[in-house]
Amino acid sequence: MNNIEILRLLLISGGLIFFVYAMITKRISTLIALPLMGALTALIASVGEIPMLGLFAHENAEGETVQGIMNAVFGDGARMMASTIAASIFGGAFAVLLRRVGIAEAIIKKAAELAGDRIRVIAFIFYVATMVIFSAIGGLGAVILIGSVALPIMMTAGISGVVAGAIILLGLTTGGVMNPAGFAFFATILAPVIDGGYEAAYEIVARMAITLFIISMLVSIAYIMLNVKNSQRSAWHARKTQPAYELSNWALIAPIVPVALVLSSIYILPQVITAELAIIVGIAYTVYVCKIKDKINAIAQSFVQGTQEVAGAIVLLIGLGILIRGVQFYTVTPIIAPAIEVLVSMLQSPMTYVIASH
């Protein structure tokens, strides 16, 4: 690397560190910082190197016409996460529908009824119930909903507040690993570097999620066994309440329908089912098994409200796409690639391992 490239690398690193610090200290919103980081990275690498600051289409060193920052970074970056954005919208609608018909609460209360007064069984059943729910839905609203129902029941049963909260978080993590919308997010990021594109990346992510799911479940089981004593007896008894709609036992498996479809498509069916299609089937199944009078209107309202709930996440995904495209811009790669190679070689060094382990 020559002196100019080293200077560009330092400026890019300094800019990224500045924005990260500003986000951590809440001096700038993440929604604004991510696209600015991508644009600034591409701009620093292009100034003085290509005409018009690299903002517009131009010819590269080989005489080929290439897109500038406006199109390659902002345009392509905004569209990069299109699959993930679509999955987020469908997932948001599914989450709203599950809350509207009362399936999430019904699962928690059904779990309480099955557990009876055995405190460790209560902990395990609530962990599994939370895991099932968060394999389909997510977001702060869902966490508040589940927490407001499950935490008082577990604490009344004799489980400490800290342990009860940890059980909810472990269930959230384990279930979240298997959320099809998460598959779409990571597949979109990995698609450019994996042969076969998005579909191959999606299948790899789904298979990897199974391993992470098993590890997370084993850790969670160990935590519950160590922190919840079975010698106690709970004085709490489940109280039956009327859900928003009349629900059958078939309705309680609605949250895992999309997950089951994705996994069965990987191991049984000849073609992988995408997250969007799996969630659509989950919505259709939920509407069918629940006795909702105006099904079409319920679906429409779920999509409107679900889109509103994930609007912030959509803007965040657009900014993330711009950041990724900014780092991948053709003038940036020759500058950061040598630094990454040096960093990787340092991390692979036995001396680095010895120092880190101490």
- Tell me: the pLDDT tens digits for 110-158? 776 776 667 888 888 889 888 887 887 766 556 766 776 678 778 877 8
Q: Residue 167's pLDDT is what?
A: 93
User: Looking at the predicted structure, is the pLDDT value of residue 240 above 60?
Assistant: no
Q: Please report how many Cα atoms fall inside a 13 Å half-sphere around the Cα of residue 290, on the Cβ side.
A: 30
> Tens digits of per-residue pLDDT, 250-279?
888 888 888 788 878 777 777 778 878 888
Q: Residue 291: how many CB atoms within 10 A of its CB?
A: 13
Angle, CA of 240, 241 and 246, to the nearest 5°: 110
Token pair of 50, please?
């290509």
pLDDT at 149: 67
More confident of the two residues 198 and 73 = 73
Rounded mean pLDDT of 283-311? 88
Q: How confident is the model at residue 52 (pLDDT cuts 50, 70, 90)?
A: confident
Interatomic CA distance for residues 323 and 35, integer angstroms:
5
Distance CA 128, CA 346 (A): 42
- From CA 42, how far away is CA 20, in angstroms rounded? 17
- Answer whether residue 235 shows pLDDT above 50: no
Of 25 and 83, more confident: 25
Q: Is the pLDDT of residue 222 over 90?
A: yes
pLDDT over 60 (residue 354): no
pLDDT at position 256, please? 81
Q: Decide if 68 contacts 54 (C-beta within 8 A).
A: yes
What is the model's pTM? 0.71
> Across the chain, what does the average pLDDT equal?
81
